[in-house]
Structures are given as C-alpha cells and as structure tokens.
Chain A
Amino acid sequence: MDAATSAANRDFPKLYRRAGSLSRERAWALRAAYASLGFAAVIFLAPPVYMLITSLKTNAEMADQSLSPWFVREPTLEHYAAILGNPLFLGFFRNSIIVTLIVVAITMAVSVPAAFALSRMRFWGSTTLATGVFLTYLVPDTLLFIPLYQIVGSLGLLNSIWGLVLVYPTLTVPFCTWIMIGYFASIPKELDEAALIDGASWLQMLLRIFVPVALPGIIAATIFAFTVSWAAFVYPTAFITKPEAMPLTIGVVSQLVRGDTFAWGQIMAGALLAALPPVVVYVFLLDYYIAGLTAGATKG
C-alpha cells in the first residue's frame, strides 16, 4: 500500500470501508482477468484444435455426417505421411523458409540502424522521417500490390521467390523500424556515450553495447518480421502462379485441391505444419523478450 492510499484511508475511513478491502478487490480483479483470458483462449484456439482433430481422421470418418466432428474415433497419421511425401508441399516449405529468413535478415539490417539513427540522432527532419516511416506502414498491401505488380513484373521477378524477397520488406521494415524507435528511445543515451568515451567506435558501440542491451526490442521486431513474411498472403497470391515458386500460405490452399475435391485431411495437416515454425520461434525468443536486459543499467 503506498503512502497516498494509506493517507486516504486515514482521512476517509468510511469511504474506505465501503470500497471493500484491497485483497478482496484484488481477488475479483484476478477472477475477471482469468475469465476474459479463458474466453479469448477458447476463441483463438478453437480453429487450430479443429484442424488438429480433422487432420487425424480418416477420409471416411470425415465424410460421415452422423458423427460429432469434435472427436476422433480411429486416429491416423496417413494425411501427415501423404503430405510429407508430397514433393510439392516440401517445395512450398522450402520456399517459405528461404523467403522468410532472407526477409528477416534484410529487415533487421535496415531497421536496426534506421531505428538507431532516428531515436538517437537529431538531424533536420528526423521526426518527420520517423512519422513518415510509420505512415508508409498504414498503406494496406491490398492497395499496394497493384503498383508493385508493375514493378515486380518489369524486373522479371513474377513467379519467383525473389520477387517476394523484394516486396515483403515494404511491409516489415516500416513497422519494425517504428517499434524499435520506441524501444531504443527508452535506453538511456548515457550508455552509448559511456561506450564512446571508453574508446569504442560507433560500430563497436552499436554491436557490443547497444544491440545486446536493445535485444528485447530487436527480438520483438524479429518475431514480427518473421510472422509477417511467413504468413503473407496477398503478395504471393498476386505475384506467384507457378506451384514451384509458391510459399506455404498459398500453396496449401491452392495446390491440394484437385478439381472440386478438397483433400481436407492433407490441407489440415499441411496448415498445421505450416503454423509450427512461428510457434517454435516464439517459444525460443519469448524468454529473451521478457527477460528485460536493461535492468541495472542505471540508478534503478
């Protein structure tokens, strides 16, 4: 209990009693928090759970309308075996991985220095530039893909994963720069100044002091860049029509359909496998993200 609260309690004992005790209020707040979190979890987890259940069913069980769709009677891994043996699917996976890794690398190579400059150095127009960076992110990709089609086409990169490598950073760089500007600004500038006085060059300061300290912010941005380029849908839909160049997002939904027969089991298994890498990345990086490495830099 802080000083202000206890002062208030002393000055207004009646009022305080009516409001109930602090621990009781806390308990209610906790219950409300769990209830709303539980509700959100149900909404968000229902589709993947449904996908998992469906992917484990045989085709016959899937087609049987008399059974509850939420239970599996004869679990099978046949769809997983089928899709993992499908060279087309493995090609999608490879494309997604290549595109995503390169896009994340490009994004970080551009965003980290850009955010550093915009958060640390005051130069003519730096605030306008920072706002401008964010505004470009607000232009939706559903609008941008038309002019970008012209550009990618004139470069001869339609139907190539390199076209995607070129256009994804237009989505990732502005936003990553923006969130890192915010994070970097919270790091005391005395830290870089101390390093410069200690004898570091700008590059040494950036790599040995600033980046390690800013890691939580950089990781948050990395997760974002990874998710955006892994899950991108509009651009590949617009720029890729050849199956060999497709990433997972459009490959799974467009190539596993034969005529008007949907290979539901494979689609579900494929979608689940496609969703796995982001989960793995989150789990590995979140620890860092939460660790909050700045603790102890300053007076504290």
Chain B
Amino acid sequence: MAQVSLRRLTKTYDGGVAAVKAIDLEIADREFVVLVGPSGCGKTTTLRMIAGLEEVTAGEIRIGGEVVNDIPPRDRDIAMVFQNYALYPHMTVFENMAFGLKLRGFPREEIARRVDRAARILGLGELLDRKPKALSGGQRQRVAMGRAIVRDPKVFLFDEPLSNLDAQLRVQMRTEIKAVHQTVKTTTVYVTHDQVEAMTLADRVVVMNQGRIEQAGPPGELYANPATRFVAGFIGSPAMNMIPARLVPTAAALAVALEGGPTLPVPAERTARYAAHVGRDLLFGIRPEHVTEATRTDKPNLAPIDVTLDVVEPMGMETLVHFRLGRTSVCARVDPQAAGAPGEAMRLAVQMDRMHLIDPATDRVL
C-alpha cells in the first residue's frame, strides 16, 4: 500500500517526441486513479515510467515516499497488467501466478495460499493446471490480474486491460476489476481511452491531452464542471454541444445570444462570474441531456427554444434529436414520447443552470 507522486514528470523519446510534458500528480494510498485521453496523449508512457520500463527524462516519481527514478522495475514492488496480458505461455495458470513469488523466495505453502486466494477472488479455481493457450480471452485477463494480486504489491498498474475483450465481457470485467479493488484496496493507476470505463471505475479521473494533464478530479466533478474545452468535449457521450455565442447585457442580468438561434437568459447567480466577458465571442456549452422537451416542468431556469428536427435517433430509454443552429449541429436528449419526426418543429427547453461558457482564445471554461 502506498501513495504515488509524480513531480514535473517528463518524457522525451529519442526521436525528440515529447510524450509527457512535466506533469504533476499526487495519488493517495488506496486510490483508484484512471488516466484517460485520446490516442497518443502519453498515458502508456506515463504508466511505463511509473513501472520503471521507460526511463524518466526529467522530473521525479515517488512510490511510498521513496524516489524510484533509478530503481529497476523488480525492486519497485509494483504489478502491471498489460493490454495483451503477456502470460508466460509455457507455464500453467498456477505457475504464471506463482512465478513472481518464487523469484522472491516465498515458501511453498505461502505461495499456494496466495495463489489459492487470488484464484478464489477471480473464480479461476478449476483452471490452475491449464496453459494459457487453453483459456478464453476473459480467463486470460483474469489470470493476468491474478498474477498481479498474488504479489500484494504497493501499486497496481493497468494499461487498457479490457480493450481486447468484446463489448459484453468488457462490461463484466469492468465490474470485476472494481470489485477486486474494493477487496484488496491496492493503490491503482489504470489507463484507458474509454471515458465510460474511466467514469465507472475511478475514484479520480485524470484527463490527459498531448502530454499534459488537462484536469484531474472525481468523475462527477469532471462531468459537471469541466475546466477546459477539451475536457468538456471529451467527457460525456454524446459529446457536449458547443455553439458559437455572444454574451449580451439585458435589463436584469445577462443573456447569451446563440449564433443562428435565440437569446437565452443566463441564471442570475452567474452574472458576477461572467460580467467581464460581455460582448466577446464565446462558445456556449450544453450537454445533450440538458436540452430536453419543453413539457418538463420539474427543473428551474428552463429556457425554451424552438427548432426544426433534422435527425431523430431512438435509443430506447430516450431519443436523441439533432437540429441546426446557424452552422452548428446540436443534439438533445428527449423523452421517446415527446420526440417529433424529422422535419417537424419542436419546442425544447435548455437547462440554463447547466450551461458552460468557453473562451475560444484560451480554451478554458469560464
């Protein structure tokens, strides 16, 4: 059990690729942190530096308070689950899990006890004598996790462990990983590019982009209060609508004039926050789930907006409707009963207290 801290951590590959740019991150003991971001943003590189598989160009990594920059992987007391599992093909499931313990000189009974426990946690009991090639993808995934669990290391590192599984198994294994963490409570750093995985698993989500940390916080916080345009667009599916807009003063407070659309009143409590940006070109950000049918009355600060529907996508529980405001295509999530047909007019309501204003010059959320 240990905390992990990254200080000004930097990695520049030989060819001059700056993969990780001076990131700072404090991971608490027992915390489950998920690094998420688009392909090539430096997630794997960060994880491999923590594991000791990649040299650190600059900065510092501490595990349990100790600087580990120059300590080889085997002495860092970490365990890693790889995307392709990397099971030892010539060893049985038992031997795969026991290998690390044998190398560390554990007595035979202790090894058997630990492998047994891990096998029980992961439901691998009957498979202990099999070779990896006789296992299904999900079972291999479990063995890879078992190999990490038996060592009882200070930190678990996962690099996209579920991306080779089919959709159904992925959801099942996701729940299983969460259950395992709740049982063993080992500090975990988990890399994925799937934001749903990030939201469901994490105590804290770290969104990376182009080698930098855009924002770190609990899933709900990132969803409700994204700090940058990138996070606002990356977290949430379907993605947040961003409509060019201008902030205009009204008699009582402020309003946003949407390009090619109506002018909507800004909630009174935000007047002070936005006052300095009146008259500037901004982006009005609103999630599809916060643009709903106008017949709903249980929410405060609803601003009505009349649109003509372009595309209607029924999803079962709800229906996505798309319409245009000026140059921008906007998505709204409405009740299946309320949705009109393509080409029809519909009155929607925007939940203005869920709105965001983004400054396109700095890409920051105001």
Residues of A whose CB lies within 8 Å of any CB of B are 122, 188, 190-191, 193-201, 204, 208-209, 212-213, 293-300
In the bound complex, how far is the Cα of B140 from the Cα of A191, in angstroms? 14
- B99 in contact with A298 (CB, 8 Å): no
Among residues of B, the one whose C-beta sits closest to the C-beta of A215 is B90
Q: Which residues of A contact B14 (CB under 8 A)?
A: 122
Among residues of A, the one whose C-beta sits closest to the C-beta of B79 is A197
The SS class assigned to the B binding surface is loop
Q: Which of B22-72 contact A (CB under 8 A)?
A: 51-53, 72
Known contacts A198-B103, A200-B74; is-contact A300 B133 (Cβ 8 Å) = yes
Question: Could you list 7 examples of A-B contacts with CB < 8 Å?
Answer: A193-B86, A194-B80, A197-B52, A199-B74, A199-B104, A295-B89, A298-B84
In the bound complex, how far is the Cα of B120 from the Cα of A140, in angstroms? 61
Q: Which residues of B contact A299 (CB under 8 A)?
A: 84-85, 137, 140, 164
In the bound complex, how far is the Cα of B360 from the Cα of A99, in angstroms? 76
Q: Which residues of A contact B82 (CB under 8 A)?
A: 190, 193-194
Known contacts A299-B85, A299-B137; is-contact A198 B99 (Cβ 8 Å) = yes
Known contacts A122-B14, A213-B88, A297-B86; is-contact A196 B140 (Cβ 8 Å) = no
Interface centre among B89, B100, B135 (most CB of A within 10 A): B89
Q: Which residues of A contact B288 (CB under 8 A)?
A: none
Is B151 part of the binding interface, using a Cβ–Cβ cutoff of 8 Å? yes
Instruction: Provide the B132-165 mask, 1 if CB < 8 A to any CB of A, else 0.
Output: 1111010010000001000100000000000010
- B86 in contact with A296 (CB, 8 Å): no
Is B73 part of the binding interface, using a Cβ–Cβ cutoff of 8 Å? yes
Known contacts A197-B78, A199-B104, A200-B103; is-contact A296 B73 (Cβ 8 Å) = no
- Please pick, from A122, A196, A300, the residue contacting B73 in the complex, using a CB distance under 8 A: A196
Nearest 8 Cβ contacts at the A-B interface: A296-B133, A198-B100, A296-B132, A190-B86, A298-B84, A297-B89, A199-B103, A299-B164
- B72 in contact with A196 (CB, 8 Å): yes
- A201 in contact with B74 (CB, 8 Å): yes
Query: Chain B contact residues (Cβ within 8 angstroms of A): what range?
Result: 20 to 34
Known contacts A122-B14, A188-B84, A193-B73; is-contact A296 B103 (Cβ 8 Å) = no
In the bound complex, how far is the Cα of B99 from the Cα of A297, in angstroms? 15
In the bound complex, how far is the Cα of B73 from the Cα of A201, in angstroms? 10
In the bound complex, how far is the Cα of B103 from the Cα of A201, in angstroms? 9
Among residues of A, the one whose C-beta sits closest to the C-beta of B86 is A190
Shortest Cβ distance from residue B74 to the other chain A in the assembled complex, whole angstroms: 4
Is B364 part of the binding interface, using a Cβ–Cβ cutoff of 8 Å? no
Q: Which of B86-136 contact A (CB under 8 A)?
A: 86-90, 99-100, 103-104, 131-135
- A195 in contact with B132 (CB, 8 Å): no
In the bound complex, how far is the Cα of B103 from the Cα of A198, in angstroms? 8
Shortest Cβ distance from residue A12 to the other chain B in the assembled complex, whole angstroms: 32
